[in-house]
Each structure stands twice: as C-alpha cells, then as structure tokens.
A = this chain, B = another copy of it.
Amino acid sequence: MNYLMLSVGRRGELIKDFRASMEEGSKIIATDNSPYAPALYFADKHYLVPKIDAPEYIDTILSICRDEQINVVTTFIDPEIMLLAENRDKFEAVGVEVLAPYIETARLCFDKYELFKYLVQCGVRTAKTWGTYNEIKNALDAGEVSLPVFVKPRTGSGSVGARKINDIDSLRVAFEQDPGLIAQELMTGEGCFDLDADVYVDTITHKAVSIFSKRKISTTLGGANKTISFKDKVFFEFAQDALSHFKFNGPIDADFFYKDGKYYLSEINPRFGGAYLHAYGAGVDFIKMIEKNLHGEANDVVIGNYEEGIVMMMYDSVVIKKL
C-alpha cells in the first residue's frame, strides 16, 4: 500500500513505527511546508508543498496522489483535518481512502462548544461548558458551578491558552480580551485524573475496533511526557458508546476525564496522536487495521488486547542533514 502522510512536522518516530508494520512493497510519501520538518527524512520520498491555506494546496496533494499511486492519505495536524473531510470526494475519485472524519464530525471536533452541546444532546457525560461570559456568570450565580473554573479557546488545538481562573473579575477580563473563549467546570483535584485513548475506527463498520488507554505519570519534571497504559472495562464501554455518536474514519486520539468514579469525554483529535508510539510499543497496531480496511475487510473488535503498566518516556532525537 502507498501511504501519503501530510504535514508530518516532527513526527519522525510515527513514520518509523508505520514502516515497521507495513506489508511488503508499501511506501510512505511525506509532505510538509518546511524543509526543516525532520519527519520528511524518514519517508521513502518527500514533497515540499505550499501552506495548507494556499489556493493550489489541494490540487498539489491530489497530483501527488496520482503520481505516486497513493492508496490512503492522512494528516498529522489539526487545521488540515477539515480540509481532508471537505475534499473527501476528490480523493475518492482518484482511488484514495481519506483517514479523516466526515464533515459534521470534523466540525464538532474543531469547536469545543458545539461538541459540548452535541454530547449533552446525545446523553454522553462531558464537563459542563459555557460559551460566553454571561452564561458562565449566570451559572455561577445559580450555583451550578463554583470558582475556580477552566477557560480555553473554543477552537484551539492542544492546551494552548488553557488556564484556571480563580475570581470573577479575572473571568470577565478574560472573556473581554478573547470572546472566543469557553469556560468549563474544573475536572482536577482529589479523585480526578486525565486520560487519553488512541482509538481505531474501522473505515468499513465505522465502529471503534481498538482502544488503547493511558494515563499521565505525575512527575516533578515539567513538561516531560511520560504515560502508563491501563485497562478498565467500564472505561472501554463508556468510550465505545461516546464515540458511536460520531462518524470517524481511521485513527483518532481522544481525551477523557475521570472524576468521582465516572468517566467523561473531553476532546477529540480525529487523527493519529503523537503518542500513538505508546500504543504501538505496547503491541497495538493501527497500520495492520488500515491495511485490512484497504483490502476491503472489516476489522474485528479487539479492544484492550495490550498489557497494563507499560510506560512510555519521551526524549529528544535528531535528524542531521546537509540540505
């Protein structure tokens, strides 16, 4: 199979892992806007392409698909997900499977407030969320939530701009300075933890067929990314139900909260997560599932077939190159 990986950036280790489990005769083509994207140099071939908002971008990518006889395309960055979802037909017309969600789901994943409203409507537990200063002010006055609360950009990626707010004045100022914020009840403290799951959603059945869940290891070293695998039947059932309300297609990375004995869905990045490396290192292999799908076969549900207590520790590696 011929893979096209878009906007590969620093994800060199992902490409190494993919290569290790690809069927014989496969190749990986990688793109990025910058020649300084180290992951480019782990691909069989790479292309430097325009920025994703350039008018000629999609045509450039489609032309690579034709030239390289690509079977499947995906992206490693959030801002490109909607673009793939919107252009699914064009890729399918040249025989390329798009590992990105369908448009409605892509839109929900991109807008945290729309996602909250949709989850409530579906009856999926999630953190209480408010979209304006007046809404959160009313909720505070009515005793539905108490300070501190969490604010974050409605459409942001990762944890950029996310912070705890302790008093009502700071909350008002925060919304004045950035009306694009949302406020959320705090899901931290005693009896709470964050968790993260790498999920493969079959492209034929559109069901979650593999879930790998892991928790952060608390450590005094700031920013160090260390996680440990865990399994809980209750979590797997919650995640399967929660994700069944969307139309994903392929790998996703979903964040959850655990609070007082219950799981909550937090956010969904509908693409390979950077920490898929952990899942792969613990024996979970999404590339094999992608290949099965590309051969026209649905995957069996194999949720939880990995070991608990496997630790992932991140460190810096380098590509050295004369450009």
A272 to chain B, nearest CB (A): 13
Given the known interface contacts A315-B10, A315-B39, the answer about A34 and B320 at a Cβ–Cβ threshold of 8 Å is no
> Do the beta carbons of B315 and A317 come within 8 Å of each other?
yes
> Which residue of chain B is the closest to A310 with respect to CB atoms?
B322
Taken together as a complex, chains A and B put the C-alpha atoms of A321 and B277 apart, in Å, by: 12
Number of A interface residues at 8 Å Cβ cutoff, please give it.
38
Which residues on B sit within 8 Å (CB–CB) of A313? 10, 36-38, 41, 318-319, 321
Taken together as a complex, chains A and B put the C-alpha atoms of A318 and B318 apart, in Å, by: 12
CB within 8 Å of B: which of A278-321? 278, 281-282, 307, 309-321
CB within 8 Å of B: which of A198-232? 217, 219, 221, 224-226
Chain A residues near B (Cβ < 8 Å):
9-13, 34, 36-39, 41, 217, 219, 221, 224-226, 274, 277-278, 281-282, 307, 309-323
> Do the beta carbons of B318 and A36 come within 8 Å of each other?
no
Given the known interface contacts A10-B224, A309-B323, A323-B309, the answer about A318 and B38 at a Cβ–Cβ threshold of 8 Å is no
Taken together as a complex, chains A and B put the C-alpha atoms of A307 and B322 apart, in Å, by: 9
Given the known interface contacts A221-B9, A224-B10, A307-B322, the answer about A38 and B314 at a Cβ–Cβ threshold of 8 Å is yes
> Which residue of chain B is the closest to A283 with respect to CB atoms?
B320
A307 to chain B, nearest CB (A): 7
Dominant SS at the A interface? mixed
> Do the beta carbons of B322 and A311 come within 8 Å of each other?
yes
Given the known interface contacts A36-B217, A38-B314, A226-B36, the answer about A320 and B13 at a Cβ–Cβ threshold of 8 Å is no
Q: Which of B221, B311, B312, B320 contacts A282 (CB 8 A)?
A: B320
> Do the beta carbons of A314 and B315 come within 8 Å of each other?
no
Which residues on B sit within 8 Å (CB–CB) of A314? 10, 38, 316-318
Which residues on B sit within 8 Å (CB–CB) of A226? 36
Which residues on B sit within 8 Å (CB–CB) of A10? 224, 313-316
Which residues on B sit within 8 Å (CB–CB) of A38? 313-315
> Do the beta carbons of B322 and A278 come within 8 Å of each other?
no
Taken together as a complex, chains A and B put the C-alpha atoms of A321 and B320 apart, in Å, by: 27
> Which residue of chain B is the closest to A38 with respect to CB atoms?
B313
Most chain B beta-carbon contacts within 10 A, residue among A219, A277, A311, A313: A313
> Do the beta carbons of B37 and A317 come within 8 Å of each other?
no
Which residues on B sit within 8 Å (CB–CB) of A224? 9-10, 36
Taken together as a complex, chains A and B put the C-alpha atoms of A312 and B307 apart, in Å, by: 36
Which residues on B sit within 8 Å (CB–CB) of A312? 318-320
> Which residue of chain B is the closest to A226 with respect to CB atoms?
B36
Which residues on B sit within 8 Å (CB–CB) of A319? 312-313, 315
Closest 6 CB pairs of A and B: A281-B320, A38-B313, A317-B317, A10-B315, A12-B315, A38-B315
